[in-house]
Structure 1
């Protein structure tokens, strides 16, 4: 296809309690930098005891690394102040030029987080779209005046502005989300989709972009990839992963969302590439015994597929 396939990684939870996430995050980003992994993507899980806010975690990672790209996978936007989000992204881009990869979502992944991002009843999508417009304007223009339904700005600015406007990727899976990406986004980061679904979603995004007089770059389509490592296939970890996948997609056989081992992950990644996706965030489908072992396996088994 002539497009660059890039493979990053998400959080790698390990077995046992992790009361202090600081050393765990330090170990993760240090290992990723040492392994020359393309990117790290931190999840927005407010109520998780084993996670830090992605903006804080990525700023921390920026200070420990020189080449690792930094992605939000994904940041819940409705319920956050978009001006503050833009200021945080501008600051991070100044600390790590060319390495910040913002991706936004409409709804929290955890049910327990739903009340932590308050928006008017039934208006989450509208708030998201206006908030996204505010973030984009503040990251692009020196001075912004915006009088919308939900946000009011008069001669507002954040800085320093990125030398090149940041690409704003969006998550989602349903047709309404694909239409939104085509109208407003710069890329798509999917989760819990099959290659066949990804192919259809990409076509929907491209059509929506054409209808809006826009164009999304050909290599700005990606997805998360859930892997159960070979050494966990005969353990309860596989059953746990399938239960979690079923909870996220009750309409689909969870076996279609989990890669049973690294050979299956390689095959699934190739199927996604054939469907037009070239950016990947690999995550263990459940906790692993050792981050270092998982990363060693990841770099051996999947990194050679980068182009």
Structure 2
């Protein structure tokens, strides 16, 4: 199985306005790093909408893969999402890696993706069905509880169907993934939890008469580079704890590159092969961080 290691956004401690994404994608392309993954953080400072950012990255690169990590689907029009993905796949054939989530990561974004009260999961599942149908069929007629389409289509259809990955870690999400998706991109999980999530997904897929490809399991991993600002790291650990209060945040953030290497090995032993590395704190130099990443982690790819 192919182990592949990509990069999320790499914020600098003193960012130059407007230069971050351009520099990042060009540096990734030059280093032949596998992929970039942009998060859906509407209200975050210096953030770019993932689909806009990936279209921009597609125009500046030739081989870099382009992932959404993850795009919030409920609250968006799934037909427009499908059209955007089809357009992006036309610009960058074979390079688009869509991954979807149920709810925004930031509390400030919760009202920006409106759905009927208590129905977010149901909207998500139907929206995912609509996105897949539009990306694989010439015309789609769909009359569900939340979405209605008559002879709808998007163009151009991808030459090869896009694999649709999902995030999440709750058991209900793992069952959904087994029934409806093609891969899993986790976050804020330990290697043992990741192994359990994979087992849940495999059981759900088997129950649905499906099979998820063996190398379609991955996760995000936060790395605090050696010598990083301890006050910034304390903030990152506190934020991680808010999102996973049941777990010591030190278990979810790698202190240094040696710890990151060991954690990646534990994840691969757990059956994961796709990874998105994100700095846990703003870095002093984006280029230095990527140089360290290429030296320390890329040799673990197969």
Q: What TM-score do the two structures reach when normalised by structure 2?
A: 0.99
2:210 to 203, 207, 214: 214
Q: Which residue does 2:280 correspond to in 1? A: 285
Total equivalences in the alignment: 302
CA shift at 1:286, angstroms? 1.2
CA shift at 1:23, angstroms? 1.4
Matched, 1:35 2:65: no
Q: Which runs of 5+ in 1 are unaligned?
A: none
The superposition leaves residues 171-207 of structure 1 with CA deviations (integer Å, 9 ceiling, x where unpaired) of 0001000000000010000000000000000000000
* Cα distance in structure 1, aligned partners of 2:43 and 2:14: 18
Stretches (4+) displaced over 3 A:
none
Q: Which residue does 2:293 correspond to in 1? A: 298
Matched, 1:119 2:104: no
* Cα distance in structure 2, aligned partners of 1:200 and 1:130: 26
Counterparts of 1:51-70 in structure 2 under 5 Å? 51-70=47-66
Q: Which runs of 5+ in 2 are unaligned?
A: none
The superposition leaves residues 203-234 of structure 1 with CA deviations (integer Å, 9 ceiling, x where unpaired) of 000000000000000000000010000121x6
* Cα distance in structure 1, aligned partners of 2:170 and 2:20: 34
CA shift at 1:89, angstroms? 0.3
* Cα distance in structure 1, aligned partners of 2:39 and 2:284: 20
* Cα distance in structure 2, aligned partners of 1:235 and 1:271: 26
- SS class of match (1:70): strand
CA shift at 1:242, angstroms? 1.1
* Cα distance in structure 2, aligned partners of 1:208 and 1:283: 30
* Cα distance in structure 1, aligned partners of 2:166 and 2:223: 23
Q: What TM-score do the two structures reach when normalised by structure 1?
A: 0.97
- SS class of match (1:155): strand
Q: Which residue does 1:153 correspond to in 2? A: 149
1:95 to 71, 91, 97: 91
* Cα distance in structure 1, aligned partners of 2:126 and 2:270: 31
- SS class of match (1:41): strand
Q: Which residue does 1:240 correspond to in 2? A: 235
- SS class of match (1:166): coil
Q: Which residue does 1:14 correspond to in 2? A: 12
CA shift at 1:17, angstroms? 5.3
* Cα distance in structure 1, aligned partners of 2:292 and 2:239: 23
